Amino acid sequence: MLSYLLTAFALMLVLEGLLPFLAPGVWRETFKRITAMADGQVRFIGLTSMIVGLVLLILLH
């Protein structure tokens, strides 16, 4: 179980690092836009991301 968790964490880090590595200007601009959003908007994006991730896990499992 721990190896699956660590594998998932490692994959998340790889995916999170792709955009800053490939297009740092786009990543920086996106980050600026996110920091300018209201807390509710950021929470909605986070909730939507979690729901999409859970649905994908259910469909792929």
pLDDT, residue 61, reads 85
Please give the Cα distance from 13 to 17 (Å, whole number).
6
pLDDT, residue 32, reads 94
Question: Which residues neighbour 42 within 8 Å (Cβ) at sequence distance 6 or greater?
Answer: 34
Query: For the packed helices 24-36 and 2-22, what is the interaxial angle rounded to 10 degrees?
Result: 100
pLDDT in tens, 13-60: 999 999 999 999 999 999 999 999 999 999 999 999 999 999 998 998
16-48: buried (b, 16+ CB within 10 Å) or exposed (e) per residue? eeeeeeeeeeeeeeeeeeeeeeeeeeeeeeeee
pTM higher than the cut 0.85: no
pLDDT in tens, 6-24: 999 999 999 999 999 999 9
pLDDT, residue 29, reads 95
